[in-house]
Amino acid sequence: MAPSIALARKWRPKSFTQMVGQEHVVRALNNAIESGRLHHAYLFTGTRGVGKTTLARILAKCFNCQTGLTAQPCGQCESCLSIDRGRNPDLIEVDAATNTRVEEMRELLDNAQYMPVSARYKVYIIDEVHMLSRSAFNSMLKTLEEPPEHVKFILATTDPQKVPITVLSRCLQFNLKQMRPDQIAGHLAHVLEEESIPFEEAALTLIGRAAQGSMRDSLSLLDQAIAYGASSVKETQVADMLGVISEDYLYQLLEALKNQDAFSLVTIAQSMADRSLSFTQALEDLARLIHDITLLKATNTAKEALGLSDSLIPFTHHWDPKTLQLFYQIIIQARQDIALSPDELSGFRMALLRMLAFVVNEEKPSRVETTLESTELKKKQLNNDKDVVPETKPPHAVSGHIPPSLAHWSELVDQLSGSGMAYELARQCQLKEFHAGQLHLIIDPSQKILVPYQDRLQSALEALLDMDIRLTIELIKSDGVTPAQIEEKNQQEALLAAKKALETDPVVRSILDEYGGKLIESSIKPVTDNS
């Protein structure tokens, strides 16, 4: 049965122990009360729905419980009960956001001088205190400066920056934290168990995330989910309700990516389209997962600190950090590009396939790299030399048979590597002539798509060389060599050198001989300076 009153109200914690999170605040308040060190003004700050008002009311009970000043108010006495019901004559609760009438606020505050009706203290809870008018602040300040023994102020605000420093400096300030998704999901599970409403944990994870740190929002979403799901809380229904993608799909996608299974990727994307899921949302969710995997891989404390899911751990072993960075870039870029793609499904599919095209499973190449590295280590030890330059490094200088001027052009182009399409264009060009600011380049007609970036290249070169340049680019088929071709040639040479080094290396040789091994050529990767 759906609960008849809003869950957020019904489940407002009535004691410190029922609070979720905010341990730092609860501990400090507990200690202060137990040791009788009371302040006359408290300020709770934090975003909405994290427990400011709740804590303020619990604190009011601590001050006024008839069992005496206590960190564990009884909840049974007249004072506690009437505070819980919001009908206690000595608790004056004002919402400064709605109560903007100046005279009214001033009158309330001026009344502070009179004794409480029945309790120990007259307690003022002023919510959204930053909204008070200047004159209201002034009359509050008068009381704050010379507080009568019987008055306690508990202020709360989402925007402490707007509270005058004169007020701030007279309050004991506590910053409440946003709720983590796992804290929220855990609390919702508890609430649902108590309410005897069946649920799927994954549904609560979705709500936990959607609530963006607010416990109140999560409980309102839960109300909606219960209504939507006719008194049960299921993942697919909550996903529909929130317009989010169920984790199932995302994990299936990661799994397919891991298995380098293009067919599955395309099929999953299709079934998402069949359910009219938002691909923009899917990209956002994927980016988050890749982010989480990267973080998990980078630091093993991230899981606890950020409440990351265990189910991501298997993926952390699968891709190296660079691949993960690349995935992230591809996804983020795809989110921008999706508007330009023929339709959302195509845009999404292309992003998936692009990731697949870049996938480097960590195991294969790293094994060869390790071999290479340990081989070098061995050599170093043999030679007792720390700075052996391994022969396997690719020759970085351009080989002798390339004209010097062209080698120079290539170096120049290298320095443009930060300038996007201008760099791409430059890489595909051959230098014909450079004289008195006149730069004449040649590009193969097959690359003419790059020519529109000519202006950008000209500016980039002008900035680099700090001189005026007149750039002309001629579209002709030529037999010359471009920086792009040089780079490719260098890479091939480096690969050959690496292969040769591996084959002739005594350690590798002995492994191959002893175990009847075979070098997998496609897995050899030269170790370069920047890898």
Contact residues for ligand ADP, defined by CB under 6 A: 8-9, 11-13, 19-22, 46, 48-54, 156, 187, 215-216, 219
Which one, of 37, 1, 34, 40, lies nearest residue 16 by Cα? 34
Give DSSP secondary structure letters for 499-519: HHHHHH-HHHHHHHHHHT---
Q: Which amino acid is at 126?
A: I
Supply the minimum distance, in Å, between the C-beta of residue 11 and ligand ADP. Answer: 4
Query: For ligand ADP, which is the closer residue by CB, 53 or 430?
Result: 53
Choose among Zn ion, ligand ADP, Mg ion, none what residue 216 binds, the Cβ cut-off being 5 to 8 Å by kind: ligand ADP
Contacts of 226-231 with CB under 8 Å at 24 or more apart are 226/2, 226/3, 226/197, 227/2, 231/1, 231/2, 231/197
Closer residue to Mg ion (CB): 127 or 376: 127
| Residues 472, 441 contacting (CB under 8 angstroms) | yes
The DSSP output letter for 450 is G
Region from 69-77, 155-163, 303-311, 377-385 binding Zn ion, contact rule CB under 5 A:
69-77
When CB distances are held under 5 to 8 angstroms depending on the partner's kind, the choice from ligand ADP, Mg ion, Zn ion, none that residue 49 binds is ligand ADP
Strands 151-157 and 172-175: unpaired
CB of 80 to ligand ADP, least distance (A): 17
What does residue 447 show for φ and ψ, rounded to 5 degrees? -105, 15
Q: How many CB atoms lie within 10 A of CB 384?
A: 7
Q: Considering the rule CB under 5 A, would residue 33 count as an interface residue with Zn ion?
A: no
374 phi, psi to nearest 5 deg: -70, -30
- Rounded Cα distance between 26 and 17, Å, is 8
What's the closest the beta carbon of residue 220 comes to ligand ADP, in angstroms? 9
> Which partner, Mg ion, Zn ion, ligand ADP, none, binds residue 65 by CB below 5 to 8 Å per kind?
Zn ion
21 contact, one of Zn ion, Mg ion, ligand ADP, none, CB 5-8 Å limit per kind: ligand ADP
Task: Work out which of 16, 22, 45, 53 binds Mg ion, going by CB under 5 A.
Answer: 53
Q: Which of 32, 69, 74, 469 binds Zn ion (CB under 5 A)?
A: 74
Residues near Zn ion (CB under 5 A), total: 5
If contact means CB under 5 to 8 A according to the sort of partner, which of Zn ion, ligand ADP, Mg ion, none does residue 8 touch?
A: ligand ADP
Contact region with Zn ion (CB under 5 A), list: 57-65, 227-235, 315-323, 485-493: 57-65
Shortest Å distance, C-beta 261 to Mg ion: 50
Q: What is the per-residue binding string for Zn ion in 78-97, x denoting contact by CB under 5 A?
A: --x-----------------
Residue 286's closest CA among 314, 255, 253? 253
Q: What span, in angstroms and rounded, lies between the C-alpha atoms of 155 and 479?
A: 78
Looking only at the bridges linking them, the beta strands covering 41-45 and 172-175 are: parallel
Q: Where does this chain touch Zn ion (CB under 5 A) — which range of 39-47, 75-83, 328-336, 481-489?
A: 75-83
- CA-to-CA distance for 324 and 288, rounded, in angstroms? 12
User: Is residue 77 part of the contact set for Zn ion (CB under 5 A)?
Assistant: yes
Candidates 51-59, 108-116, 351-359, 499-507 — which segment interacts with Mg ion by CB under 5 A?
51-59
Could you tell me whether strands 151-157 and 429-435 are parallel, antiparallel, or unpaired per DSSP bridges? unpaired
Give the span between the Cα atoms of 297 and 312, in whole angstroms: 10
State the minimum distance, in angstroms, from the CB of residue 121 to ligand ADP: 21
Query: Considering beta carbons, is residue 186 or 390 the nearer one to ligand ADP?
Result: 186
Contact between 58 and Zn ion per CB under 5 A? no
Q: How far is CA 160 from CA 141, 145, 168, 374, in A?
A: 16, 19, 8, 57
Token pair for residue 228? Answer: 């939507």
Residue ranges that bind Zn ion, judged by CB under 5 A: 65, 73-74, 77, 80
Contact residues for Mg ion, defined by CB under 5 A = 52-53
